[in-house]
Structure 1
Amino acid sequence: MRRQNGRRTDLATFCNLLLLVLLQILSVVIGTNSDDISNIWYFGCRWFGGSENKMACNCSSEAKEMYIQRDSIQGFESALEIHNCPKVRFGGYSIYDLRTFRSITLTNIQNLTFEPNSLNWVGYRDISINQQERFDLSIPSLKIHIINSNIDSIGSYTFVGRIQEIHMEKVNIASIEAFAFSNILQMENLIFKEVVLRDVKPQAFKMFGTESLIFDGVTAQQLPSRTFSNVTVYRRFLISNCNFDILRPATFIINNPASFVVTDTRINQLEGEAFYLTTTGDVLFRNNYFDQIYNQAFMGITLNTQEVTSGRAISFDSNTFGSLRKYSLDVQPQFQARVSNLYLNQTCDCESIVVNVSNSDFYNEIKCVDYEGKYVTMRDFKSYNCSILAGYYPILIGVSIVILLLGILAIAFYLYYVMVYKRDKYGCKRVHGKPNLSLIVPDGKTYRETELHVIVEKADLLTTDL
């Protein structure tokens, strides 16, 4: 009996071990075939516990496309990091249920795709229709950092929900669909730094608020009308070191920034009211280059008089213009215009100064290129070259030349009259103040013995008949 019981115990133990091995093998097989990215070895995903509490994936050279779907990430991590992957795709609502998430960092991704609603995240509190939430540290929100990557597409409603920060740096974006950034709550910073925008659809940024909107080193061939539509910036709107080929009318429809600054930026074609915004603070354009600037390019900038009682300034400091039209520099009368060191990259011309600048106050600071290739203010050029006499300068030169030639001819005629005509009148030559007489006499063959005595004396007219 004891032997039988021992055999049964050994058999049971063996069966348990076998069952455990089978379960482990089955779990590995199931895990490999599931969507959980942590079970795919070439993604190199690891979970870090403790204070870090994150999952970090560092792809190997054998890695294929990482497709993150709604059930691809398991656990209670607060952060997701993905590095050095050839291709990463986020599916719809891929992080929607990950309520513990606080940050996503994507670095060195060769091809990154965001499907519609892929990064829609609301946390623990639902979002009602037309809800607005300004940044509040007490409410959980998400930070998204994308660095040194190529984005193939950002679909509609990719960034939706409570997102504290979106920071893209050294990123090349091929396409941004309409409403890609939409209905975002708790936004503190929207930052694009050294980003190339290839194709941006109208209303790509729609209906959300942020404390700061920063474009630093952004390059775009063309931004269409309503690229930013009904976006509220509460503190700072900054465009710095950017290069835009064309900005269409109402490219930036922005509400209420306390500070709006455009600096060290090149815009080849700035169309009318491209900046269509209402501000509560000062506006500054400094050290920019505008090649073609259309009429009323800055007239879309207005002051929110409901929130601001005192005046605000719009300043143009050290900007260069390829050309100017008559109303290019017009601003709203609500602002105090401050102009200093504006360079017009054209040769000074009296007619263009009158036609192209409607505000005569700008003469003091706008500088054009004079005939010597130096920058001079329009006021100085106009005073020295565009007066009434200066306008008739070529005519005066021509008339002066004609008068001079006529004077020379008159002098020459007078000298001829005095030296030639008057002194040799009728062939009479004077010797020591007395006239010489000329007589015509027969030759010696006719009258050989004729003697001629000429006595010159003063005689009166005869009174008797001969």
Structure 2
Amino acid sequence: MRRSTWWPLLLALLAPTFAQSPVPTICAEEFCRCDSFTRVICDCTAADNEVTLRPNGAYSVPSTTTGIIINGCARVHFLAETARNLIQLRTVELTNVGHVVINDHALAWSPFSRENEMQPGIRIVIRNSTINDISSYAIQGRVNDILISDSTIDNMRPFAFSSLRGVRNVELTNNVFRNIAIQAFKQFTAVNFILRGGSIENLPSRFLSDVEVTDLFHMDGVAVGHISSLAFFVNSPKRVLIESNTIDTLEADGFHMVSHGSITFRNNSVTTLRKNSFLGFTVAPEITSVKGRLEILIDNNTITNLTPVSLIYNRTTLNLRVDGLNLNVPCTCELAEEWRVLVREQGVINCWYDLEGHFISVPTFVDSRCGTFKQTFWIFVVIGVLVVVIIASIVTFIIVRRENEKKKKVQIVLPDGKTYRETEFHIVVERAELLTTDL
């Protein structure tokens, strides 16, 4: 009984000692350190170095951390709630990382009870890395910039970037996207959204869902296999530039955008353009009420499979201007007739002219090759050439035959002065004998 009475007292006396023993943070990792600015900096030198960022427990991220900077590690794993209580956090930067996994709510950062525009946010930068998985709700809260470049993204889950506030720039540059789920970017406002370079196998419906872009939406130089209907569900951009992309298939209403400015679709190469591909572009009513209809410009694009209905657009809020549309199919009079109305209304539409090996305008082709006489002219030319060749061959044959016949005949001159022209002759050998006196 006495021993059991002393145990609680002994534990109470030793408790302060246990409480004072330090718990190691990530700063104690072999290849990580914390500098005077309370940034966590990990420079991995070995090929198998791994970093796990956790919110609590041993080797967790210190609560005073202002930045997380990781370079050259084989694997980086953000556990759930890693950034939740890092009030001073401003930067997350990953460079040359072999494998990155970001768990759900790992970079959900909302330290302020009341939000206003003057409050700071975090800046997320990922360069030259392989991102194996961005989980649902992985990045939320107050984020100023999301910059991902020269990286491979294997899996981007639904709502991976969602409910963001204070976003200035989302820039995705020269990345390879393997698998993107629907609504990967969901419900936030950004000043600029830029998708530049790299390749995407498939852009699903609502890749951008209920995203408001207040200044620039720019898609530039991206190779895309398939753009689904409603892939870009975007509101309010003042400038829309879609240029220099290579697209296999663009479905109807692939760009569903309510713009506050003009729209430019320039220098793109599209294999298949579905019906109503441009019908999703429109202009906000509050803009058209002041400025009237704005312009959608189709400039110097090359498209293989399309029909005039592929270019149907919203005539209530937009005016279509075609400054260059190359139909990547051979010119025919039937093709010209199919595009006749649009050519008359819009101008510069070209087709591929096989005889000269370049694009020419549809009206130029019509002027030179179409019409009742022009369509049959070349038939008459070909027939005339064949007749001339046949006649020349017959005349040549007759002349050659006569010359050969002349060469076969032999002239014989006899002593009486007569000349005979025969086709053949015989030589008779005669024997001469001496005359005798008996005669």
Short-chain TM bin: 0.7 to 0.9
* Residue number in structure 1 paired with 2:134: 154
Evaluate the alpha carbon distance shift between residue 214 and residue 125 of structure 1 in structure 2; reply closer, same or farther with a 3 A threshold.
Answer: same
The structure 2 residue matched to 1:350, chosen from 333, 357, 374, is 333
* Residue number in structure 1 paired with 2:34: 47
The structure 2 residue matched to 1:313, chosen from 278, 287, 295, is 295
Instruction: State the alpha-carbon separation in 2 of the partners of residues 300 and 85 from structure 1.
Output: 44
Deviation at 1:389, TM superposition (A): 2.7
Residues 360-390 of structure 1, C-alpha deviation per residue, up to 9 Å, x if partnerless?
3367311112232232100111122222333
Secondary structure class of the residue paired with 1:188:
strand
* Residue number in structure 1 paired with 2:106: 118
Does 1:88 pair with 2:76?
yes
Q: Output the TM-score relative to the length of structure 2.
A: 0.77
Residues 115-156 of structure 1, C-alpha deviation per residue, up to 9 Å, x if partnerless?
1111100122357xxxxx7xx3x1121111111110000000
Q: Spell out the pairing of 1:45-444 with structure 2 (5 A cutoff).
A: 45-49=32-36, 52-61=37-46, 63-71=48-56, 72-125=60-113, 136=117, 138-308=118-288, 309-310=290-291, 311-333=293-315, 334-355=317-338, 359-361=342-344, 364-370=347-353, 371-393=355-377
Instruction: State the alpha-carbon separation in 2 of the partners of residues 267 and 85 from structure 1.
Output: 35
* Residue number in structure 1 paired with 2:400: none
Evaluate the alpha carbon distance shift between residue 363 and residue 323 of structure 1 in structure 2; reply closer, same or farther with a 3 A threshold.
Answer: farther
- Greater CA radius of gyration, 1 or 2? 1
For the 8 Å contact 2:99–2:129, the answer to whether it is kept is: yes
Q: Which stretch shifts more, 351-360 or 207-216?
A: 351-360
Evaluate the alpha carbon distance shift between residue 324 and residue 46 of structure 1 in structure 2; reply closer, same or farther with a 3 A threshold.
Answer: same
For the 8 Å contact 1:236–1:258, the answer to whether it is kept is: yes
Deviation at 1:306, TM superposition (A): 2.1
Instruction: State the alpha-carbon separation in 2 of the partners of residues 140 and 161 from structure 1.
Output: 11
Q: What is the identity, as a one-letter code, of the residue corresponding to 1:101?
A: L
Q: Output the TM-score relative to the length of structure 1.
A: 0.73
For the 8 Å contact 1:123–1:140, the answer to whether it is kept is: no
Aligned length: 366
Alignment root-mean-square deviation, CA: 2.7
Evaluate the alpha carbon distance shift between residue 323 and residue 189 of structure 1 in structure 2; reply closer, same or farther with a 3 A threshold.
Answer: same
Instruction: State the alpha-carbon separation in 2 of the partners of residues 357 and 180 from structure 1.
Output: 47
Secondary structure class of the residue paired with 2:226:
strand
Residues 43-80 of structure 1, C-alpha deviation per residue, up to 9 Å, x if partnerless?
x222222xx44221112317543221212111413111
4+ long deviations beyond 6 Å: 394-401
Instruction: State the alpha-carbon separation in 2 of the partners of residues 112 and 400 from structure 1.
Output: 74
Instruction: State the alpha-carbon separation in 2 of the partners of residues 399 and 165 from structure 1.
Output: 71
Deviation at 1:112, TM superposition (A): 0.1
Task: Provide the identity percentage.
Answer: 25
- Which 5+ residue runs of structure 2 have no aligned equivalent? 1-13, 392-439
Instruction: State the alpha-carbon separation in 1 of the partners of residues 215 and 382 from structure 2.
Output: 64
Residues 238-289 of structure 1, C-alpha deviation per residue, up to 9 Å, x if partnerless?
0111111111111101111100001111111111111111101011112111
Instruction: State the alpha-carbon separation in 2 of the partners of residues 399 and 200 from structure 1.
Output: 60
Deviation at 1:296, TM superposition (A): 1.3
